[in-house]
Amino acid sequence: MTATVDDVVAVADSHRSELLAYCYRMTGSLHDAEDLVQEIQVRAWKAAESYDPQRASLRTWLYRIATNVCLTALKSAERRALPVDLSQPNPVVGADPLPRHHELPWLEPFPDALLGEGDPAAVVAVRESVRLAFVAALQHLPPLQRAVLILRDVLALRANEVAGLLDTSTAAVNSALQRAHAQLSGVDAGPAELTDAEQRDLLNRYVEAFESMDVDALKRILREDALLQMPPILAWFLGRDAVTAFLARVFGRGEAFRLLPTRANDRPALAAYVRRDGGVFEAANLHVLTLDTGGVARMDIFHDPDLFRVFGLPDRL
């Protein structure tokens, strides 16, 4: 049976969430991923009449296009990173605002709402594969190894399918996967998971401490080895004392905060709004939190109000 152009377009549309997550893992950027998915859909539409269902499924054929698009984009792209990848932890010194480095290509968060639905087991695997630590580690791999790892381990394509869409041999695919596994062997598997009730309690305490600017209350829920980073600020802080000393400076500025719940990178997240002139709370930053039984383990705070749009969040309260 021959697929029509309408068939190809329909399948491409139905796989949009999946393709968006793939491009995000490849690039580390939600904005880049959105642009690349648009290009993938245009290329699929233009090449629809050349699709041969005898050679590959439509899904595999789409991933061939997606991989080529991503590999081409990555040829001229700098590796996206987080502050922990680029410098040593900072001591808390001075009272001046920390400089922002917008020229650096920073890793971006990904909204859980864009991951789509499906088989529960598959959804769990997909969500785990967009966790910040994993996506950040992927950026250290050469682009081809990155693609092989995602296609094999996350999307569960067979080695011969991956070989076909990359125009290489099965042996080469297996070799690339082995090298990728070796490089990612030290990636942290993540903290001990909390129950829903424990997570809600910890989040509520975090929100209450932040909105009341209570450093002591925040200190009580941080792990001793808590980490705070805030791209595009290069500085980052490690340890409960260093994190709370920095936040004491932030709270000391007298600003007021309001936080709204959301989710990003398979983690609870909070959208932070800061009160500006006239009493209006405006979008400020997005807190992606890593929680475990010891408390708040990691605070990834992204200072990019443009992210609020893709998270479906209002610009102001």
Domain endpoint, select from 183, 207, 237: 183
Domain contains 159: yes
Instruction: Give the domain extent around 212.
Output: 196-310
For residues 33 and 24, the answer to whether their CB atoms sit within 8 Å is yes
pLDDT at 190: 65
Q: Domain check: are 102 and 231 in the same one?
A: no
Residue 282 buriedness (CB in 10 A; 0-12 / 13-18 / 19+): middle
Whether residue 275 sits in one domain with residue 150 = no
Residue 189 lies in a domain: no
Residue 273: predicted pLDDT: 97
Q: What is the pLDDT of residue 1?
A: 46
Separation CA 297–CA 194 (nearest Å): 12
Domain boundary among 130, 151, 183: 183
Mark whether 87 and 157 lie in a shared domain: yes
Do 86 and 169 sit in the same domain of this protein? yes
Say what the pLDDT of residue 49 is.
79
Residue 80 and residue 107 in contact, taking contact as beta carbons nearer than 8 Å: yes
> How far apart (Å, rounded) are the C-alpha atoms in residues 98 and 88?
15
Q: What is the CATH number of the domain that holds 265?
A: 3.10.450.50
Residues 155 and 14 occupy one common structural domain: yes
Residues 23/70, Cβ–Cβ less than 8 Å: yes
Instruction: Note whether 247 and 118 are same-domain residues.
Output: no
Domains identified in the chain, total number? 2
Written as tens digits, the pLDDT of the chain (317 aa) is 455 777 777 877 888 999 999 999 999 999 999 999 999 999 988 887 777 777 778 888 899 999 999 999 999 889 999 999 999 998 876 666 788 999 999 999 999 999 876 555 556 667 788 999 999 999 999 999 999 999 999 889 999 999 999 999 999 999 999 999 999 887 766 666 788 899 999 999 999 999 999 999 999 999 999 999 999 999 999 999 999 999 998 888 878 999 999 999 999 999 999 998 878 999 999 999 999 999 999 999 999 999 999 899 999 98
Query: Does a structural domain hold residue 18?
Result: yes
Among residues 128, 153, 183, the one where a domain terminates is: 183
Both 219 and 95 in one domain: the answer is: no
